[in-house]
Amino acid sequence: MEHKYLKEALFTFEDVMGAGLTKQGAASALRRQQSQGKIQKLRRGLYARVNPLTGGIYATKFEIAAALHPGSVVAYHTALEYHGVGHQAFFEAYCLCPSRYNEETVDGVTYRFFAQTIKEGVVERFGSAGISVTDLERTVVDCLDRVDLCGGYEELCNCFALIPSLQSENVLKYLRLYGKKNLYQKAGFVLAKLGIRGLEERFFAECEKNVGLAYVDLCATGEKGVIDSKWRVKAPVWSGLDYWEIHDGD
């Protein structure tokens, strides 16, 4: 008879013992199932069920990202993918964690872990699978803060262009928690240019009120850019992308 844990995409050593096996019996069963190619060990105490047709594991990168370490939260571009607005599928996954961990590669995907910035804006998804992920508004602010973890500004804008709507107050809440002038500048500029639904005039008014004195450079090294004086940013110019209507302010 197949044990219940072998029906799960991911399971732990404790799950195996919960099937009525002793510690020694559980260890023996896991060794046997690994040798038979039925399961793959991801880390100490964590295992994934293997698809016999493909040889890959059933678990998604979101499930793995959330399970590799206690308190892991799916974030940045990986969270955009989870929310269905990822322009590209990355072979990297990004997580926020309460502790520091080295990156790990599982089934062709490299998992990278970063310190928690703020605690708010984390939601639980997938029921018993227990995926923790930043909500959409928190993800937008996180990505604006760490554009490198979103694949750069071009990828960020391609992703943000897929967002159907955002809640003004939630985005403002996370901007206030971060407390960075340059984030207000980035958010005001990028979100105004993309015209995402749900963002009210008061949202942009508060962003404009918090514009700092220093200009924010959105360009990659050596990339041509132009100045937007309203938001005090230097923005890249990409051929064929018409959602940057960059001007020299009013």
Same domain, 14 and 136: no
In a domain, 78, yes or no: yes
> Which structure tokens are listed for 4?
């219940």
Helix/strand/coil percent split, the chain, to 5: 40, 20, 40
| Tens-place pLDDT, residues 134-157 | 999 999 999 999 999 999 888 999
Same domain, 83 and 41: no
Alpha-carbon distance of 94 to 107, in angstroms, equals 15
Same domain, 171 and 134: yes
In a domain, 140, yes or no: yes
Range of the domain at 19: 4-49
Quick one: pLDDT at residue 2? 61
Same domain, 101 and 147: yes
Could you say which residues of the chain have pLDDT below 50?
1, 128, 239-250
Exposure of 200 in the CB half-sphere (CA atoms within 13 A): 7
Same domain, 101 and 205: yes
Alpha-carbon distance of 35 to 101, in angstroms, equals 28
Q: Are 234 and 216 in contact (CB under 8 A)?
A: yes
Same domain, 119 and 26: no
Quick one: pLDDT at residue 4? 74
Which pTM value belongs to this model?
A: 0.87
In a domain, 205, yes or no: yes
In a domain, 231, yes or no: no
Same domain, 11 and 98: no
Same domain, 39 and 159: no
Same domain, 29 and 88: no
Length of the chain: 250
Q: Are 127 and 63 in contact (CB under 8 A)?
A: no
In a domain, 241, yes or no: no
In a domain, 233, yes or no: no
**Angle formed at CA 135 by CA 104 and CA 90, multiple of 5 degrees:** 35
Q: Are 82 and 123 in contact (CB under 8 A)?
A: no
Same domain, 199 and 89: yes
- Total domain count for the chain? 2
In a domain, 127, yes or no: yes
In a domain, 235, yes or no: no
Same domain, 94 and 197: yes
